[in-house]
Structure 1
Amino acid sequence: MIQRKLADNLNWTLLHVLIAICEEGSISAAADRLNITQSAVSQNLKKLEEQLENQLVIRNTKPLELTPIGRYCLQVAQTIFTEITSIEAMKGSNLHLLEGNIKLLVVSRLHNPKYNNFLVYFKKKYPNITLDLTVKSSMDILNDLKQKNPAIGICLAKHTSDTLNQKILFNQRYYLYCGYHHPLFSVKELSISNILEENFIAFNSEAIGDVLSPIALFKEAHDFTGHVSAYTNNLDELVRLIYTGYGIGALPDKFVAATHLASKLRRLPPKDGIADIPVYIFWHKHRNLSAIESKFIEEIIDFDISF
């Protein structure tokens, strides 16, 4: 009876506000996304906490952190949102007739809740379309697409191509991290001055002019003097090297949140992170798209999974 009372009285709009706060990382950013005032966002959050009789968000952290019940509430809210999108997916009586195979080339370790929501939406709307996914590096994906291979690519890119169409899907925010076996892991208070001389583990693509060059530019602008103790082109190996104390490194925040080593990695200053790296969808300008390829591109762009 108590559970039914909560379900009957809970304002579902407040759950949407919670999703926005968590995905954007701050009340101000959530207000911009929802096109309402920061005061309105704060009031809605307070109302939700009052209805649930629990604190959901730990204030004065950047980005905002959730309490244990807050994390559970977010999971429930995201499930509700996904089911609501399925209602939209079922519009159009003939959409289920579209069928076939879409070849997708995707860079590894993309973590974005809205991207996941889109895949749920697309599957429910087009149940007879099969996705054939191959994981490759961003460079290999772009090279394949330039050869007019019948595929769509989702990856990182530094420079636009004259032969490819592209549309930004979302940004991955990168932060600096150290690992459990690094001396900084147990230091109570840290500022950016404490890390300027630390050695780095770097991606091969952090070179100036490459896809992750904003990371190198940040280090250069802030006079980091530590040397690179290891290079890798693999995100999992970079996490391993950070964890084992080879140096500090830059990682996308949502990937870290999803990894089993999240509790063994420590986010370092600056609190706001160091770079936004965009993820794009690409397809060749002069290759005829199939109907289902066109539909996939149209849907993922219209879904607006960008932050």
Structure 2
Amino acid sequence: MHTDHPHTRHISDKMNWALLHTFLVIVEEKSLSRAALRLHITQSAVSQSLKKLEVQLGQQLIERSNKTFVLTPSGEKCYHAAQAMYQQLALFESQLKQQSAQLSGHLKIQVVSRIHHDAYTEFLHYFKQQHPSVTFDIEVLSSAEILRNLSQKVPVLGIALCRNLPDGLNQQLLFNQRYALYCGCHHPLFHASDVSIEQLVKQDFISFQSEQIGSVLSPLTVFKDTHGFTGKITTTTNSLDEVVRFVYAGFGIGCLPMQLGSAAHLQAALKLLPPKEGVADIPVYLLWHQKRVLSTLEERFIHELLQVDFSMHRNINLSI
């Protein structure tokens, strides 16, 4: 097999970076002795490195005497090449450090169900792009279960509805969820025109378990009490899906998140009832325990999620 003669090899193939680095320091210090001090080696070793580099290149790089230190034209070119190489190596080192310091780990979050907020989905996409090594464990629970777990210092973050914040929890508002009244396609009011509040007050009702006074959805009960609703509650559930099912089946009217009610797959099955602007805003929070030491990953997730402007996007769909 043919091999090049040593004298015909390209400079890039035989160049020794240690020699180039020593030369770079010599030029920057303008002295072999000062270069030796900076490199923590002997002046003799510096001088030998310079000679080896000049032999490798076949060029004199420095003209020197007792009082002068001048780069030759080849020395100038070698110095600029060494500078460029040093800058590239420094950049490479920085990129390696950034990669090794890349955020990683396993993030556990307990959330209320049916999250469909554009801003939250886009945030998750952004977070994945920024931190591709992070994995997620998402558990869907009721708001009450999430608050109870957080109060017990279970190592998770929570996204939940919260009317009365338990002691010891941090709470950051993400957005307000608007609820409104709906009936289903099997209800007598579905095909009625110009439905009024007065027609609604005697209608049967499907209710969330958390609508009792003091609970997270109690503003819905306050609205019904304020307007004198007297119809009986035919169904009580803690599931948004079941409220939709029983409203659709004609068991009565019920409150649903407006974004869900306007979803394309439900528009033919549900009808928005007065008031058209909705019944009440229910706040949705990001929560975690004040005295639990958060991981770096949890801290970063909280910090970045709280930068999201939810007012610029659609509301989220939740069950309780």
- Matched ranges for 1:159-198 at <5 A: 159-198=164-203
1:124 and 2:129 equivalent? yes
Q: Which runs of 4 or more aligned residues in structure 1 lie more than 4 Å from their structure 2 counterparts after TM superposition?
A: 93-96
* 1:98–1:213 CA distance, 2 compared to 1 (3 A): same
* Aligned counterpart in structure 1 of residue 204 of structure 2, from 188, 192, 199: 199
- Matched ranges for 1:1-307 at <5 A: 97-258=102-263, 260-306=265-311
| Cα separation, 1, equivalents of 2:285 and 2:101 | 27
Instruction: In structure 2, give the amino acid aligned to 1:127.
Output: P
Instruction: In structure 2, give the amino acid aligned to 1:148.
Output: K
CA contact (8 A) 2:151 2:167 kept: no
- Could you say what the CA RMSD is over the residues aligned between the two structures, in angstroms? 1.7
CA contact (8 A) 1:157 1:279 kept: yes
| Cα separation, 1, equivalents of 2:100 and 2:126 | 13
Residue deviations 1:95-125 (CA, integer Å, cap 9, x gap): 9810000000011112322111211111111
Instruction: In structure 2, give the amino acid aligned to 1:279.
Output: V
Aligned to 1:55: none
| Cα separation, 2, equivalents of 1:141 and 1:262 | 31
CA contact (8 A) 1:169 1:306 kept: no
Post-superposition offset of 1:306: 4.5
CA contact (8 A) 1:170 1:306 kept: yes
Between the two proteins, the alignment pairs up a number of residues equal to: 216
Instruction: In structure 2, give the amino acid aligned to 1:113.
Output: D
Instruction: In structure 2, give the amino acid aligned to 1:168.
Output: L
Instruction: In structure 1, give the amino acid aligned to 2:114.
Output: R
* 1:247–1:172 CA distance, 2 compared to 1 (3 A): same
Instruction: In structure 2, give the amino acid aligned to 1:223.
Output: G
Bigger shift: residues 283-292 or 121-130: 121-130
| Cα separation, 2, equivalents of 1:260 and 1:271 | 20
CA contact (8 A) 2:210 2:217 kept: yes
CA contact (8 A) 1:174 1:277 kept: yes
CA contact (8 A) 1:145 1:152 kept: yes
Post-superposition offset of 1:305: 2.1
CA contact (8 A) 1:109 1:255 kept: no
Post-superposition offset of 1:128: 1.1
* 1:134–1:238 CA distance, 2 compared to 1 (3 A): same
| Cα separation, 1, equivalents of 2:181 and 2:198 | 13
When the two structures are superposed, what TM-score results if normalisation uses the length of structure 2?
Answer: 0.65
| Cα separation, 2, equivalents of 1:229 and 1:259 | 27
Identity %: 50
Instruction: In structure 2, give the amino acid aligned to 1:198.
Output: Q
When the two structures are superposed, what TM-score results if normalisation uses the length of structure 1?
Answer: 0.68
CA contact (8 A) 1:118 1:305 kept: no
Gaps of 5+ in 2: 1-97, 313-320
Gaps of 5+ in 1: 1-92
| Cα separation, 2, equivalents of 1:295 and 1:281 | 13
CA contact (8 A) 1:152 1:281 kept: yes
